[in-house]
Amino acid sequence: MITPQTMDIACTGNAQIRVRRYSRAGAPRLVLSHGNGFAIDGYRVFWELLLSDFELCLFDLRNHGANPLSSIETHSIATMACDHVDLAAAITANFDLRPTFGLFHSVSSIAAIRAALDHDLQWDGLILYDPPLIAPPGNSLRDMNKQLDQTLAHFALNRPHHFASSDDLAAQFRQRIGRGWAEGAEFDMAKAITRLSPGGGYELSCPGAYEARIYVENAAFDSFDAMAALKPPVCLICADPEAPRALSPAFAGPQAAAKFGFACVSVPETGHLLQIEKPDVVAEHTRKFIQQMLPA
């Protein structure tokens, strides 16, 4: 694997974000981030498949993963959107100018929408993975979208925070939400979202109260209609709406893509963590869309 470069960026509210760059001369650049409560190294089984064709810049959202913890008062989707602006500028200034595509999962995709709406940040192309959109008033999905965020906020506030080892958390993933993940992804994710605890053992890098705060904010943001701020090319890669116990993003994403004329594909037999459930399939869709986005 290519030896990465790292760059630390000072962001709003004294937050710090580390960007890790896997350089590849002349290749299009992909900027990737993750969902609420997770971390980008937990998606290794997915993004490693893109290393042969693209330059990658990976980052964890503020107060997640490898980043230090800052004040909860500045922990919001709005500040994450500001971070996108700061990161885009720093990547261009410190590396070089080349076609650059944003690849964002879940809440980082909502931050990308907010960055376009509030700051007119536009990438050369944008791929949103199963964005947890809030449908507009009058849409039958709206209550379903909001209820999911409320349920997840309750879970975040009540989830265990300390673990004897990251392997203990990996075992919990495999028994529950990680049953359909690719082999080894549960260990990647558990290691990526924990840090050594001062009292011994390990603790979540992003505390539950921080995670819950984002779910609550997401439920109050009309992100479906805010997608009007995005300038093509944009595509959505969504979970399977026909899968058992499909969650609301799998339904809202295709509706929004149809309304705004964006490309969209639903990946069969996947849920919200589709990138680590079927990494080969999602990487192939990603590669295909990027090739279509590149200038002729």
**Is pLDDT above 90 for 3?**
no
Looking at the chain, the whole-number percentage of residues with pLDDT higher than 70 is 99
Query: What is the rounded average pLDDT of the residues 138-162?
Result: 94
Residue 161 lies in a domain: no
Residue 59 lies in a domain: yes
Q: In this structure, is the dihedral angle defined by the CA atoms of residues 98, 34, 74 and 166, taken in order, positive or negative?
A: negative
Are 24 and 95 in contact, with CB atoms under 8 Å apart? no
Query: What is the rounded average pLDDT of the residues 260-266?
Result: 98
Binned at pLDDT 50, 70 and 90, residue 295 comes out as: confident
pLDDT in tens, 94-127: 999 999 999 999 999 999 999 999 999 999 999 9
Residue 280 lies in a domain: yes
Residue 100 lies in a domain: yes
Q: Residue 279's domain is classified under what CATH number?
A: 3.40.50.1820
Asked, as a colleague might, if the bond just before 249 is cis with ω within 30 of 0, I would say no
Query: What is the rounded average pLDDT of the residues 3-28?
Result: 95
Residue 79 lies in a domain: yes
What tokens appear for 232 in the block?
A: 């093509």
**Is pLDDT above 80 for 138?**
yes
Residue 257 lies in a domain: yes
**Is pLDDT above 80 for 2?**
no
Kindly report the pTM of this predicted structure: 0.97
Q: How many structural domains does the chain have?
A: 1
Residue 206 lies in a domain: no
pLDDT in tens, 42-101: 999 999 999 999 999 999 999 999 999 999 999 999 999 999 999 999 999 999 999 999
**Domain enclosing residue 59, as ranges:** 5-136+222-293
Residue 53 lies in a domain: yes
Are 116 and 122 in contact, with CB atoms under 8 Å apart? yes
Binned at pLDDT 50, 70 and 90, residue 186 comes out as: very high
**Is pLDDT above 80 for 296?**
no
Looking at the chain, the whole-number percentage of residues with pLDDT higher than 90 is 93
